[in-house]
A = this chain, B = another copy of it.
Amino acid sequence: MATMKDVARAVGLSVTTVSRALGDHGDVAEETKNRIRDVAKRLDYHPNATARSLQNSKANAIGLVIPSRFHHAYDSFWLDFIGGMAAVCARRGIDLVLSAIQSPGELDDDFKRLIRSRRIDGIVICDVRRTDARIEYLKKHNLPFTAFGRTTGQDGFSYIDVDSAAGIVQAMEYLVGLGHRRIGFMDVDSAFSFSHFRLSGYREALYRAKLTYDPSLMSLDVGVNEAQSAASRLLSLPQPPTAIIAAADYLALAVLKVARARGLSVPQDLSLAAFDDNLTIQQAHPAITAISQPNRRLGEEAASLLLDRVSNPESPLVQRIIVPTLVTRESTCPPILEGPKMAVAH
């Protein structure tokens, strides 16, 4: 494994000159540079990144904290996000260090070790919680970071997020435009910081459309295991919804399954829209109308934001919120026209 010393010896110059030549500094004769470059190539010299890092106190790497076990509902989100980050890093010659963390939002020892090891120049944290201990830690230790997701209490950091509320509003307006008046809403585990925003989008849209706010139409904090029973409950209401918005794909799939089991056809008897447009949603039968967030771009932006801040710590803190788009498919249509209104026994 050739080092700079080997190159210097081979070319008959000092290590310093070789360093400057390879770094393309101005104060080396062109001819010398070429000689050095030739020899370096001949010896198949590659710089030792570790030595370089130690010298400049720059790791040339950033970290990404991921959950140790992924929630399968978010498979394609994560992969796209990681792919986006990796692509930006590759383009800028930066390594991407992955760190699997047990309990998101917590401050575990592995996390601390990574932060303090000086192995990375910055970090992207995801799966941010309402108030996230990691954020305070990162601020305190002065490591540049970008969060994917906002927190509620904290501020003064760089983040990127999806405008969940706006996404839900779009879907609601679309359904209202189709003629729906009773629209159900199913939300994810409230530990996710975005659940809050998705719910508020629902409320906002109800308000704007002047629809009555009926709590029985909402199912909050619905995990994977409760999804089907929650869907059942909604469909069993005395006045069931004519449409449902599911804040995650697994919720939408559960609705689909339960509806099918009850002999309801989607969209004729029930319209359905989901947040997060992934393969499962697209491949479902019928294909599901979805609020689509640009997963890969989110990853790219997170990496860019962070790298900008790493290379220039004085640059302003950027908070970027991306508005998702609605992709309409087969799972939504106008509600069935009801007969003349009947009095309903309370």
The segment out of A9-17, A148-156, A173-181, A279-287 that lies at the interface is A279-287
Expressed in whole angstroms, the minimum distance between the Cβ of A331 and any Cβ of chain B is: 13
Expressed in whole angstroms, the minimum distance between the Cβ of A34 and any Cβ of chain B is: 20
Docked-complex contact B79 and A70, CB < 8 angstroms: yes
Residue in A61, A64, A110, A117 with the greatest tally of chain B CB atoms within 10 Å: A117
Docked-complex contact B50 and A59, CB < 8 angstroms: yes
Docked-complex contact B46 and A50, CB < 8 angstroms: no
Residue in A48, A89, A260 with the greatest tally of chain B CB atoms within 10 Å: A48
- Please tell me if A72 contacts chain B, counting CB pairs below 8 Å: yes
A145 and B256 alpha carbons, distance in the complex (Å): 45
How many residues of A are in contact with the other chain, CB < 8 A? 56
- Please tell me if A96 contacts chain B, counting CB pairs below 8 Å: yes
Q: Which residue of B lies closest to A113 (CB)?
A: B46
- Please tell me if A308 contacts chain B, counting CB pairs below 8 Å: no
- Please tell me if A253 contacts chain B, counting CB pairs below 8 Å: yes
Q: A51-B54, A253-B283 are in contact. Are A95 and B86 (CB under 8 A)?
A: no
Q: A260-B285, A285-B260 are in contact. Are A90 and B110 (CB under 8 A)?
A: yes
Q: For A98, what are the chain B residues with a Cβ–Cβ distance below 8 Å?
A: 64, 82, 86, 95-98
Q: Which residue in B53, B97, B284 is a CB contact (below 8 Å) of A50? A: B53
Q: For A99, what are the chain B residues with a Cβ–Cβ distance below 8 Å?
A: 86, 90, 95-96
Expressed in whole angstroms, the minimum distance between the Cβ of A46 and any Cβ of chain B is: 3
Q: For A46, what are the chain B residues with a Cβ–Cβ distance below 8 Å?
A: 112-113, 116-117
Q: For A50, what are the chain B residues with a Cβ–Cβ distance below 8 Å?
A: 50, 53-54, 59, 118-119
- Please tell me if A294 contacts chain B, counting CB pairs below 8 Å: no
- Please tell me if A22 contacts chain B, counting CB pairs below 8 Å: no
Docked-complex contact A95 and B119, CB < 8 angstroms: yes
Docked-complex contact B97 and A96, CB < 8 angstroms: yes
Q: For A93, what are the chain B residues with a Cβ–Cβ distance below 8 Å?
A: 113
Which residues 21-67 of A sit at the B interface, judged by CB distance below 8 A? 44, 46-51, 53-54, 59, 61, 64, 66-67
A89 and B284 alpha carbons, distance in the complex (Å): 36
A48 and B53 alpha carbons, distance in the complex (Å): 11
Which residues 98-128 of A sit at the B interface, judged by CB distance below 8 A? 98-100, 110, 112-114, 116-119
Q: 5 pairs across A/B with beta carbons < 8 Å? A: A46-B112, A49-B119, A75-B79, A86-B98, A90-B110
Given pairs A51-B54, A96-B97, 15 additional interface contacts (CB within 8 A): A1-B118, A46-B113, A46-B117, A48-B118, A66-B82, A66-B83, A67-B83, A68-B90, A72-B279, A75-B75, A75-B79, A95-B114, A95-B119, A260-B285, A283-B284
The interface of chain A, by Cβ under 8 A from chain B, is 1, 44, 46-51, 53-54, 59, 61, 64, 66-70, 72-73, 75-76, 78-80, 82-83, 86-87, 89-90, 93, 95-100, 110, 112-114, 116-119, 253, 256-257, 260, 278-280, 283-285
- Among all A-B residue pairs, the 3 with the closest Cβ atoms: A46-B116, A86-B100, A49-B117
